[in-house]
A and B are shown apart, each in its own frame.
Chain A
């Protein structure tokens, strides 16, 4: 049996794009040739700017986006699920085991359903429980784990604050007893004090329920705090990946370094040592050939300027992988 829960092998996701109906069809290279292994019980972080392909990769792993090439394997206890080659029955099974928590708790909950119905819906749709009584029991059980009161269950979402709503979303995702959770910017819309509360809850549930997370975020300080392993994405590629402490202490790629230096320091005397990146992330319609970061790289080597070095990760230290362009 393997230690990994998810293996992502050479996955690319492309979207077709046509500006208007007479123009030429183009391809958007949203995710390119990604290889990651997510260990059982780990908190795997995915960081990057908007447009870097974090969400697309997360959705591809859940089977919510079509994978253009490569495959994703979910290693369950008894059997492996190959996401690229799955029939309807398998997909239904997989949905019970892999769930998603969204960013905006105000948009994710239907305003016309009571909290009980919101949490119970996955059970009913997936036909996991057989009687109303059983459903109610599971709903109450998971609500208690997510620190919601029983009397909350009869109310509607508008009565709750952002943090409570996010706890409802978490309860809904966890009610089917999944093993794998994709948390897509799940704390980005919350105030800092509540953000800390939700992060602690996610951590606590991880040990209680044996969960594995893929945590997608643009906030490096949050990722540094909760994740064991972090992958940094830029324009559809992973540019650096490693154990989070190692990666944050000793970043190798110039993009990771720039991201880290851009976090505003809480110390007023330590102002602005940010390595300023010029411009913005290029369009995924025509990414620069070779190293994708070279158009914004503060120290482009002679070679990568022409884009002759292809993208590819090399292991600089055990478990710490960096794109080869920045190692040279």
Chain B
């Protein structure tokens, strides 16, 4: 069976006044129907840029490499240029939910009107009345009480958790095949976060869509994802099934992220930060991108002579080759 989504050798570069920035380099990912792919990494690691490439939402100064392919449902979306084609992916086959739901709703238009508008654009054979009843159904489905009343309210009248639910309802009402969730729970309280995670899980079960879930919280990843890709400075340094990555991490960056995470069940463990800062993409290190912050168990990686390349260490578990050596020399 072919994958729902396949990203092959994707580079994303931005032309800026200071020069050409490599935001994402040589990324390959795949996702099946009904599965969740988690992407983790610090800010500036290229998580959102990768997701936005799928909908071609990156700004005008973006360059993709010629041999890159993003195959969604057997079509290369990077080749889409016409408005009609783009409409198919933006809100049609793919929907996106963002971190800050207040910023994603138009503040002066009622929530209901926004939901109906997108349905009328994407579902040609739907009239206004049907769109309204479907929208209210969706609001109900995501657990918003008084859906009919909320339909006629503005975004500012809803609380944070409610707004995120409304956003999810809106993203799902066009029945996309792929849902991109960019830090959807980061701005929420833990109790509301637990509600939203359960909601997304139920919805995957029900609609069998694929989900790309971007977050910097490994706990959330453990709860929701089937597969994980760990990103650092535009490259995937480790990817594989969630329990293999979290239980048996191989790359020093993945290990570092796990050690920096405070764990309530183990209060005696010291918090160990990853030393240094993520370098500016303008002076991206050659060779292994992580070498400026790596504990250097592998002396060859230090001067950047080892190229970035993912190697399969066990079934489905891929690690950057420099990182493997680092892990072995530990």
Asked if B190 contacts A263 (CB within 8 A), the reply is: yes
At the interface, yes or no: B281 with Cβ under 8 Å from chain A?
A: no
* Residue numbers in A under 8 Å from B257 (CB-CB): 192-193
Which residues does A use to contact B, with CB under 8 Å?
49-50, 161-164, 191-197, 199-200, 218-222, 224-225, 245, 248, 258-269, 271-272, 274, 276-277, 279-280
* The one of B217, B218, B273 that contacts A197, using a Cβ cutoff of 8 Å: B273
Q: Is B216 an interface residue (CB 8 A)?
A: yes
A269 to B272, CA, bound (A): 25
Answer whether residue B246 sits at the interface, using C-beta atoms and an 8 A cutoff: yes
**A49 in contact with B243 given A193-B256, A221-B263, A225-B262 (CB within 8 Å):** no
CB atoms of B197 and A162 under 8 A apart? no
Query: Number of contact residues on B: which range applies?
Result: 35 or more
A200 to B242, CA, bound (A): 29
Is B152's beta carbon under 8 Å from chain A? no
**Chain A residues with CB under 8 A of B162:** 280
Chain B residues near A (Cβ < 8 Å): 42-43, 145, 159-162, 189-195, 197-198, 201, 216-220, 222-223, 242-243, 246-247, 256-258, 260-264, 267, 271-274, 277-278
Provide the bound-state CA to CA distance between A49 and B195, in Å: 14
Report the bound CA distance from A222 to B190 in whole Å.
Answer: 13
A268 pairs with B220, CB closer than 8 A? no
B40 — nearest CB in chain A belongs to which residue?
A: A192
Smallest CB-CB separation from A201: which chain B residue? B273
CB distance A266 to B246 under 8 Å? yes
Q: Are A193 and B191 also in contact (CB < 8 A) when A264-B219, A265-B223 are?
A: no
Q: Are B189 and A224 in contact (CB under 8 A)?
A: no
| Closest residue of A by beta carbon distance from B270 | A200
Residues in B with CB closer than 8 Å to A199 are 262, 271
Among B161, B217, B273, point to the contact of A194 (Cβ < 8 A). B273
Q: By the criterion CB–CB under 8 Å, are A50 and B189 in contact?
A: yes
CA distance in complex: A220, B262 (Å): 9
Q: Verify B264–A200 contact, CB threshold 8 A.
A: no
Which of B197, B242, B262, B271 interacts with A264 by CB under 8 Å? B197
Other-chain residue from B190, B262, B263, B271 in contact with A259 (beta carbon distance below 8 A): B190
| Cα distance A279–B145 in the bound complex, in angstroms | 9
B189 touches A49 (CB 8 A): yes
- CA of A221 to CA of B192, assembled, Å: 16
In the assembled complex, 7 residue pairs joining A and B whose CB atoms fall closer than 8 Å, in A order, are A161-B277, A192-B217, A195-B260, A196-B272, A219-B190, A221-B261, A225-B271
Q: Which residue of A lies closest to B269 (CB)?
A: A225
- Chain B hits for A268, CB < 8 A: 222-223, 242-243, 246-247
B218 and chain A: residue at smallest CB distance: A266
Tell me the bound Cα distance from A274 to B192 in angstroms: 11
CA distance A279 to B165 in the complex (A): 12
